[in-house]
Amino acid sequence: MSSGRATSQEDLLTGFAAVAPLFAAPAELKAQSEFDLDAIMPTILAPLYETINAAMGDCLSRYDLRDRLHEIKVPTLVYVGRYDWINPVSSSEEIVANIPGAKLIVYEKSGHFAALEEKTKFRRDFRDFVKGLGVEGIQV
């Protein structure tokens, strides 16, 4: 994976093991996490190396819809981990600033996988967001 593209599933897992700490909250917060990144990543990534190559290398470099965010007319919840350098808080703030009525929640003990690292808080926040929509028939 030294080229930035995985050549096999094994290559992806080996390469990801080297960068996995970058996706999580800092080591001093790891004990508070509800998610063991090291244990679950092989399951999450299997067998996706071709898809990940396409998404990370080919699509994301050309996929920018920031100028269309104002067109979103549905209730929007944006969440981010404080230590997520891949999608940093500043990017989430930009998204929320450009979607009318969007709500931002920053998870203070998380990296890129906030919904997993702070699963209990995320579930509560998500339920509260959906309940706050006031739509009859939605059960959370």
Give pLDDT tens digits for 55-108: 666 666 777 889 999 999 999 999 999 999 889 999 999 999 999 999 999 999
Extents of the domains making up the chain: 9-131
Show the tokens assigned to 45: 């990534």
More confident residue, 83 or 22: 83
Give the pLDDT score at 126.
96
CA distance 100 to 130: 17
Closest CA to 57 of 133, 6, 121, 128: 6
| Confidence band for 1, pLDDT divided at 50, 70 and 90 | very low
Look up the CATH architecture of domain 9-131: 3-Layer(aba) Sandwich (3.40)
Three-state DSSP class for residue 19: helix
What is the enclosing helix (H) or strand (E) of 80? strand 77-81
Give the pLDDT score at 45.
61
Dihedral angle sign, alpha carbons of residues 62, 101, 82, 43: negative
- Is this model's pTM higher than 0.75 or not? no
